[in-house]
Amino acid sequence: MANKNRNIRKAVKLFQEARARRSPDFFRKAGLGPHVYVFRNLETGQVTYSQTIGINPQNLTKQFTRPDWQNRKPSDRIDVWRCMAVAELPDHAKAIEAFDGLLELRKLRDVIDKKQAMEWRVKNSDGNIWFSGNYRPTYTQEAVADLVSLSEGLGYNMKIYWEDAWRRGDETHWNKDLVQHDLIPTSAPRERYSVLRELSEKAFNDWKQKLDVKAKASEISAQEPTPVSQ
C-alpha cells in the first residue's frame, strides 16, 4: 500500500510538473519568445511542432501516435531536421493555444478523420501517399494548411518566419489582416539554432516592452483625477 501511494504521489507530481512546464509563466521565466516551431524532416518530409528550439523525443512520441509504414515515428537526430517555420504569437498564452491547436489538427488528420485525410492526399498508382525515395511532400503541405486554418480559427495576429518564401504557398490562402510573413535569416548550418535563439530573444524583448508600455499607461490612467460631477 505504501509503495502504491508513493507511486501515485510521484505520478501526480510529474503531471503537475508537466503542466507547469507548459504554462505561460514557464516560458516567460525562461526568457523565451511566444513562438511555435515547425520542423521538417529532410529524409521523410514529416513534420513536428515544438514550443522550444530543437527536437524533443517526447514531442515525437506524442505527435506520432499511430505510426504506420507510410508515416513511421521519425528519428530524433538533430541533423535530419530543419526549421521550416516559426510562428510568433502576441503572447505566451496564445502561443500555447496555437501549439495545442496544431496538435489537435494533427490528431484530426492522423486519428479521427484518417480515412478522409487519405482521400485528399496525392497518391501514386498503387493508391499510397506519393513519395520519392522515403520523402513524402504531403506532410509539409499539410502543415502549411494547418497554419492557415489555425490563423483563421484563433483570429490572433501572428507573424510567421519561413525557411523559404515559397514554403507558405499561395498568398490568397492567407488572411493579410491577421498574418504577416518574413524569412528566417539565412545562416551557416552550424548557426541555424543560434538564429532561432536570436529570433526568440527579440520576440521576448518586444513582448516585454509592450507589457511595460501597457503597465505604464495603466499607472498614468490610475493617477488621473476623477472628474467631479456638477
For cell 520519392, the residue is 132
Asked if residue 119 belongs to a domain, the reply is yes
pLDDT at 42 > cutoff 50: yes
Asked if residue 128 belongs to a domain, the reply is yes
Alpha-carbon gap, residue 185 to 174, rounded angstroms: 22
Asked if residue 11 belongs to a domain, the reply is no
Q: How far apart are the first and last CA of the chain?
A: 73
pLDDT at 15 > cutoff 80: no
Asked if residue 110 belongs to a domain, the reply is yes
Give the cell for residue 64.
Answer: 506520432
**DSSP state, residue 126:** T
Q: Write out the residue range of the structural domain in which residue 91 sits.
A: 25-211
Asked if residue 218 belongs to a domain, the reply is no
pLDDT at 16 > cutoff 50: no
Lowest mean pLDDT among 85-94, 107-116, 146-155: 107-116
Asked if residue 1 belongs to a domain, the reply is no
| Mean pLDDT across the chain | 88
DSSP 175-208: -TTTEEEEEPPP--GGGHHHHHHHHHHHHHHHHH
Q: In this predicted structure, what is the pLDDT of residue 4?
A: 53
Closest CA relative to residue 98, chosen from 58, 142, 51: 51
**DSSP state, residue 103:** H
Q: In this predicted structure, what is the pLDDT of residue 21?
A: 56
For cell 494548411, the residue is 145
pTM equals 0.84
8 pLDDT band (50/70/90 cuts)?
Answer: low
Closest CA relative to residue 147, chosen from 38, 67, 64, 7: 38
User: For 144-184, what is each residue's pLDDT tens digit?
Assistant: 999 999 999 999 999 999 999 999 999 999 999 999 999 99
pLDDT at 207 > cutoff 60: yes
Number of domains in the chain: 1
Asked if residue 5 belongs to a domain, the reply is no
Q: How confident is the model over 62-68, as a mean pLDDT?
A: 89
Asked if residue 74 belongs to a domain, the reply is yes
Long-range contacts of 59-67 (CB under 8 A, 24+ apart): 62/103, 63/103, 63/106, 64/110, 65/107, 65/110, 65/111, 66/110, 66/111, 66/114
